[in-house]
Amino acid sequence: GQQVMQIPQYQHVQEGEDFTTYCNSSTTLSNIQWYKQRPGGHPVFLIQLVKSGEVKKQKRLTFQFGEAKKNSSLHITATQTTDVGTYFCAGPISGGSNYKLTFGKGTLLTVNP
Amino acid sequence: DTAVSQTPKYLVTQMGNDKSIKCEQNLGHDTMYWYKQDSKKFLKIMFSYNNKELIINETVPNRFSPKSPDKAHLNLHINSLELGDSAVYFCASRGPTGELFFGEGSRLTVL
């Protein structure tokens, strides 16, 4: 079945350093979504990318969707302690009412102040 | 107002017991989900309902029975709890462009 793979599993950085997490799908995705889960919290939707080669920015966060729509990345510039959490990518399987979002295993980011 | 609310937030129980988790969303969405998050943070889909109809059942043991009395509610009942059922269970509803809105989670601990 379709899989969404995400690396790295863990990333520890010093505050101010950059961070990137990568997501790869075994099949072409209609869109890719990114979520952030703070420690002890719940996943919160960050963004959705739909177009091939799309790049979107949210302040220090930059999201990219690959040309083949099979891979994506999230880059954080100059991390802050508030960036701590697990970042998940997710891609949909099937269409219509059987919409199933498959999540990558997430990248846990810890930031040393 | 919380958009997707789950109760209880914490549940500690003995093996073999039966328990329920309730979920309600006030976003007007048609589709709701249950996800299980294990200790390694992996989010695995369990069930999905669209307007009270079951549309996804991810080969979850039949000890798990979801129920949707209306499209704003999706409850999860678990019979004969096992140690491996310990996890955080997240309810979610699907927005108009496919994004998911998660509840705060229900942490189940089976002793």
Query: Could you read off the pLDDT of B97-108 as tens digits, one per residue?
Result: 999 999 999 999
Residues of B in contact with A92 (CB under 8 A): 98
Q: Indicate the residue of B31, B99, B105 with minimum beta-carbon distance to A42.
A: B105
Nearest to B1 by CA among B30, B19, B20, B24: B24
- CB of A59 within 8 Å of a chain B CB? The answer is no
Check residue B31 and give its pLDDT: 93
A113 vs B58 pLDDT, higher one: A113
- CB of A88 within 8 Å of a chain B CB? The answer is yes
B6-26: per-residue pLDDT in tens? 999 999 999 999 999 999 999
- CB of A41 within 8 Å of a chain B CB? The answer is yes
Coil vs helix vs strand at B18: coil
- State the pairing for strand pair A10-14/A107-112: parallel
- CB of A97 within 8 Å of a chain B CB? The answer is yes
Residue A1 confidence class, pLDDT cut points 50, 70, 90 = low
A43 and B100 within 8 Å at the Cβ level: the answer is yes
Q: Which residue of A45, A50, A105 to mutate against B (max B Cβ within 10 Å)?
A: A45
A86-97: per-residue pLDDT in tens? 999 999 876 554
At residue A85, does pLDDT exceed 80?
A: yes
Residue spans of the domains in chain A: they are 4-112
State how far Cα A13 lies from the chain centre. Answer: 17
Average pLDDT of span B78-93: 97
Domain A4-112 in this protein, CATH class: mainly beta
Check residue A3 and give its pLDDT: 82
Domains delineated in chain B:
4-110 (2.60.40.10)
A63 vs A1 pLDDT, higher one: A63
At residue A66, does pLDDT exceed 70?
A: yes
**A88 contacts A43 by C-beta, under 8 angstroms:** yes
A residues 68-87 near B, CB within 8 Å? Answer: 86
* Alpha helices, H only, chain A: none
Check residue A26 and give its pLDDT: 87
B43-68: per-residue pLDDT in tens? 999 999 998 888 888 878 999 999 99
Cα–Cα dist B46/A103, whole Å: 13
- CB of B90 within 8 Å of a chain A CB? The answer is yes
Cα–Cα dist B80/B14, whole Å: 9
CA distance A100 to chain B (A): 8
- CB of B96 within 8 Å of a chain A CB? The answer is no
CA distance A2 to chain B (A): 13
